[in-house]
């Protein structure tokens, strides 16, 4: 089926993309000023949007591309795809009324670019600067369970295939641009990630300092006022009564004849059975299975980025 062309308000021509999304085929960018995705298959939509982002022709990768709100429910299961951050977001019932200045700015910008300009695969920074300038947007992170460390720059990461490459090369791109004064950065958050694979999917748990196992029990301490004996609740328990193992008196009223000054950990490893107050904290990486101590984790600062004047001058020249 040919992809439908619509004449929208203010002379903006839209093309509804259906089959070409399934075929992952980029339509002729000169046929319409904007593209509207009319396909409910989230997997194919993602592949298509990535092909648009990676396309060498600015008329393609700068093209305003919208998703439709009516299809949003079909994408719901694929939240980690960040579809709306791989394009210009959602519109309702092909209504672009409030987007016209936004679209116009992009179309004028594309028109002013050298018509035969094609970007090579290694010109990712230039591609990024052109895109964010044309959108008048900052490069912002999004929290995403589908990314390696939970903080994702979806459009930057779309340049790469695996989540490891996306993380490593994507961060290197942003960092390099910052160091060369193409981007300014604003601190947002600090994240702790695996020392080996940079994953943020980490499990923190208490460990026995003696045998390093983490199957522990928390035991409440009891302090008998009369004889000053302190031990775990278990050692006072006789049936449902509390009897002091030192002076054999029964403990009746919390706060009157005894109190609970704290708790201790008890190691459930049969060969250890260590009782201790300060456990170690161990960190297990769910992505690569590496065990590490909290101080060994890598620390990453998360920033949002904006184009500098140097970047803008470069784009406009």
Where on the chain is the footprint of Zn ion (CB under 5 A)? Answer: 194, 196-197, 199, 208, 210-211, 224, 227, 229, 244, 246-247, 267, 269, 272, 274, 285, 287-288, 290
- Compare residues 110 and 285 and give the one whose CB is closer to Zn ion: 285
- Compare residues 36 and 267 and give the one whose CB is closer to Zn ion: 267
Shortest reach from residue 289's CB to Zn ion, in Å = 7
- Compare residues 175 and 269 and give the one whose CB is closer to Zn ion: 269
Q: Are 99 and 92 in contact (CB under 8 A)?
A: no
- Compare residues 100 and 211 and give the one whose CB is closer to Zn ion: 211
Q: Are 219 and 234 in contact (CB under 8 A)?
A: yes
Shortest reach from residue 141's CB to Zn ion, in Å = 20
Shortest reach from residue 90's CB to Zn ion, in Å = 35
Shortest reach from residue 212's CB to Zn ion, in Å = 7
Shortest reach from residue 166's CB to Zn ion, in Å = 15
CA distance 16 to 38: 6
Shortest reach from residue 99's CB to Zn ion, in Å = 41
Q: How many Cα neighbours within 13 Å face the side chain of 173?
A: 22
**Count of CB atoms within 10 A of residue 92's CB?**
11
Q: Give the CA-trace dihedral at 51, 52, 55, 59, to 10 degrees.
A: 160
- Compare residues 138 and 213 and give the one whose CB is closer to Zn ion: 213
Return the residue matching tokens 């993309």. Answer: 17
CA distance 244 to 121: 76
Of 155, 166, 161, 140, give the one whose Cα is nearest residue 53.
Answer: 155
Helix (H, G, I), strand (E, B) or coil at 56: coil
Q: Which residues contact 86 (CB under 8 A, 6 or more apart)?
A: 46, 49, 50, 53, 154, 155, 158
CA distance 194 to 284: 9
CA distance 293 to 280: 8
Q: Are 228 and 246 in contact (CB under 8 A)?
A: no
Shortest reach from residue 202's CB to Zn ion, in Å = 8
- Compare residues 235 and 269 and give the one whose CB is closer to Zn ion: 269
- Compare residues 107 and 272 and give the one whose CB is closer to Zn ion: 272
């Amino acid at each position: 089926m040919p992809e439908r062309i619509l004449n929208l308000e203010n002379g903006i021509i839209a093309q509804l993309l259906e089959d070409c999304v399934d075929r992952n085929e980029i339509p002729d960018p000169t046929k319409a000023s904007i593209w509207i995705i009319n396909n409910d298959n989230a997997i194919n939509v993602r592949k298509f949007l990535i092909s648009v982002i990676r396309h060498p022709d600015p008329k393609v990768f700068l093209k305003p591309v919208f998703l439709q709100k009516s299809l949003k429910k079909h994408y719901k299961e694929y939240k980690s795809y960040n579809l709306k951050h791989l394009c210009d977001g959602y519109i309702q019932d092909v209504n672009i009324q409030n987007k016209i200045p936004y679209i116009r700015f992009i179309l004028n910008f594309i028109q002013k670019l050298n018509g035969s300009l094609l970007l090579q695969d290694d010109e990712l920074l230039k591609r990024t600067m052109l895109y964010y300038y044309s959108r008048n947007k900052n490069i912002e992170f999004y929290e995403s369970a589908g990314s390696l460390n939970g903080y994702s720059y979806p459009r930057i990461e779309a340049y790469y295939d695996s989540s490891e490459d996306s993380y490593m090369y994507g961060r290197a791109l942003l960092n390099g641009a910052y160091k060369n004064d193409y981007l300014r950065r604003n601190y947002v958050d600090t994240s702790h990630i695996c020392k080996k694979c940079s994953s943020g999917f980490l499990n923190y748990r208490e460990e026995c300092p003696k045998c390093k196992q983490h199957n522990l029990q928390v035991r409440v301490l009891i302090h008998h006022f009369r004889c000053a004996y302190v031990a775990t609740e278990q050692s006072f328990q006789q049936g449902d009564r509390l009897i002091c193992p030192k002076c054999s008196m029964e403990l009746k009223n919390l706060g009157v004849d005894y109190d609970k000054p704290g708790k201790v950990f008890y190691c459930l490893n049969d060969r250890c059975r260590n009782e201790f107050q300060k456990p170690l904290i161990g960190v297990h990486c769910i992505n690569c299975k590496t065990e590490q101590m909290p101080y060994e984790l890598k620390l990453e600062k998360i920033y949002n980025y904006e184009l500098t004047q140097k970047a803008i001058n470069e784009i406009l020249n």
